[in-house]
Amino acid sequence: MVRSGSRPLLTLFPLMALPRWPWDMKHVLSLLLAAAFAPAFTPILNLPLSPPWATALPSRRTCVFFEAPGVRGSTKTLGKLLDAGPGPPRVIRCLYSRCCFGIWNLTQGRAQVEMQGCRDSDEPDCESPHCDLSPRAHPSPRSTLFTCSCVTDFCNANYSHLPPPGSPGTPGSQGRPTVPGESIWMALVLLGLFLFLLLGSSILALLQRKSCRVQGGSAPEPEPEPEPESGRDWSAELPELPELCFSQVIWEGGHSVVWAGQLQGKLVAIKAFSRRAVAQFQAERALYELPGLQHDHVVRFITASRGGPGRPPCGPLLVLELHPKGSLCHYLTQHTSDWGSSMRMALSLAQGLAFLHEERWQDGQYKPGIAHRDLSSQNVLIREDGSCAIGDLGLALVLPGLSQPPTWAPTQPRGPAAIMEAGTQRYMAPELLDKTLDLQDWGTALRQADVYSLALLLWEILSRCPDLWPGEDGQQTTTLPAGL
C-alpha cells in the first residue's frame, strides 16, 4: 500500500536535468510521468478494481427499423443504424434495451406498418419471442393502432397474428346499442367534466408558476421553506431564466440530473439539483465561482439559476458548457484512437488536473489549489477538438495554500472523514481505500490521490490505442492480475 510515510510519487521523477522550461510544463510532465508509473509503484490490492472498459458489454439486440413518413417522435437515437440496404426497412442495433417493438395501423382489414425499432428500456411486458399484437389506440373510427414488444433478433419484422375482429379494442367489436338521446347527455357530462378539469389545472399551474418565480415586486409571495442544511432561503439569491430550455436527460446521479438544453440559442448542460441537495449545490457553485477558475481543460461555468423542466417545486441549477461528444467512458467504449489522438487526450487531462492543483495569483486574483477527489472517465468530457475537459466538482475540495491572502478564509473540512470522502471506488488511491491518508499534510496527499486516478485514466486511453497493439485491429483487451 502507499502509506502515509511513503515518498510522494512526484519525487521519483526529478526534472532538474530537463531544459529550462516554464514551471507549468514541468508540473504537467511530472504528472504524466508519475501517473504513467503509479500502478507499478502500488502493490496489488485485494479488491475487484478494474477500469470500466475491461468489463465485456452484453450482447446487443438487433431489430428491424422503419418510420413511416410524417411519424412524430423518432426512435433513431435509441440504437445504431446498420447498413442493410439502400432503402427501408433498415436494421438497428439497440443501445439501451434488449426489446424490439412494432406499431401497425389496421384500417378496413388492412394492416400497414407505422414504426419499428428499439425500445428505450426493458419493459416488464417484453417477454415474448414473437410479435404478438395488442390494440393500443383508435386514431379514427375506422382504424386501430396495434403494438407488439418482443425479445429476439428481428422479431419485429412482422406480426404473428392479428386479434380476431370481435376482440376488445378492435374496430369490429360492438358494444350494446345506445339509446337515442343518451349519447347527448353523455357528451354534455364529459364536456362539463373536461371544462372543470381544464379550469382546475389552469388555476394550479398559475399557483405553481407563482411559487416558482423569483421573489420581488410589491405583491408578497409565499416564501419557500428554507432547507435544513442551508439554514437560509437559497432561492431568493438565484435568478430565474425564462429563456432556459430543457431538451433531454444525459446523466442521472444521486443528488442531481444533468440535462442537455439551450440558453439564448446556445447549447448548454444543465445540472438540476433536488431541493434536498441544496448544500451540494452551494458547495459546487462556490468552487466554480472561485476567481481565476477558467481553463480550456476544465468545464466552463456559465451561471446559476433556479427552475426545472416540469412542474414545480423548483430546484437550484448550474448551467455549464456542453460537450456533445459525451464522457470519456462513453467515447472509449465506442471508439479507438490513434497515437496522436491518445496523446492529445492524455496531455489535456494532465494539464487540466495540474491547473486545478496549482495555487496561483493572476491579475490580482488568488486561485487556491483544488483536489478533485472524483476523477473518473464518467467525469471527464470530450471536447470538439478531441481533447478532454474535467467536470463535476461536486466532491472537490479547496486545499490549504502557502501564498493565500490574509483575508482568504476557505471552508475547512470537518474532520478526517470529510477529508477522506471520495467518489468512484475503482479509481480511488489505496490510502483512501484503507483509510491511511496522511492527515498531517492532507493537501499533498489528496493531490497524490488525484494523480493515482489520472494514472488509471491514462491506462484506459492507451488501452484503446491500436497503434500500441499492431496486428490486432485495436481489439486488445487488458485485464488486471488475478485477485485485483
* pLDDT per residue as tens digits for the range 18-61: 444 454 555 555 555 555 555 544 443 344 444 433 333 457 89
| Residue pLDDT, tens place only, 210-264 | 444 433 333 333 344 444 444 456 666 788 888 889 989 998 887 889 999 999 8
Question: Are 389 and 368 a contacting pair, CB within 8 Å?
Answer: no
Give me the residue label for grid cell 406498418: 113
- pLDDT (mean) for 155-159: 89
All CATH 2.10.60.10 domain ranges in the chain, comma separated: 62-157
Distance CA 380, CA 390 (A): 5
Q: Which residue, among 460, 187, 186, 171, has the nearest Cα to 335 in the 3D structure? A: 460
Residue length of the chain: 484
392 part of the active site: no
CB 95 within 8 A of CB 119: no
For residue range 265-299, list pLDDT tens digits in order: 899 999 999 888 888 899 899 999 998 899 999 99
pLDDT at 358 over 90: yes
Does 384 score more than 80 pLDDT?
A: yes
Q: Quick one: how far is CA 25 from the chain centroid?
A: 32
Neighbours of 207 (CB within 10 A): 12
pLDDT confidence of residue 86: 62
Q: Which CATH number fits domain 62-157: 2.10.60.10, 3.30.1360.70, 3.40.50.720, 2.40.10.340?
A: 2.10.60.10
Q: At residue 157, does pLDDT exceed 50?
A: yes
Mean pLDDT of 436-462: 93
What mean pLDDT do residues 155-161 have?
85
Window from 186-195, 421-430, 448-457 with minimum mean pLDDT = 186-195
Q: What is the pLDDT of residue 348?
A: 97
CA distance 199 to 197: 5
Domain with CATH 1.10.510.10 in the chain: 244-468
Query: Would the pLDDT of 375 be above 90?
Result: yes
Mean pLDDT of the chain: 77
| pLDDT score recorded for residue 5 | 44
pLDDT for res 192: 83
pLDDT category, 446, cuts 50, 70, 90? very high
**What CATH superfamily classification does 244-468 receive?**
Transferase(Phosphotransferase) domain 1 (1.10.510.10)
pLDDT of residue 376: 95
pLDDT above 80: residue 98? yes
pLDDT band at 386 (very low <50, low <70, confident <90, very high): very high
The reported pLDDT for the residue numbered 319 is 95
The span from the CA of 346 to the CA of 355, in Å, is 14
Q: Which residues of 14-32 are buried (b: 16+ CB within 10 A; e: fewer)?
A: eeeeeeeeeeeebbbbbbb
Are the beta carbons of 131 and 150 closer than 8 angstroms?
A: yes
Q: Is the pLDDT of residue 181 over 90?
A: no
Nearest to 328 by CA among 406, 269, 390: 390
Residue 351 contacts by C-beta under 8 Å, 6 or more apart in sequence? Answer: 28, 295, 296, 297
Helix, coil or strand: residue 298: strand
- pLDDT at position 107 is 86
In 236-385, which ranges are E strands? 244-252, 256-263, 266-273, 301-307, 315-321, 360-362, 365-367, 370-371, 380-382
Of 120, 132, 374, 434, catalytic: 374
Q: What is the pTM of this model?
A: 0.52
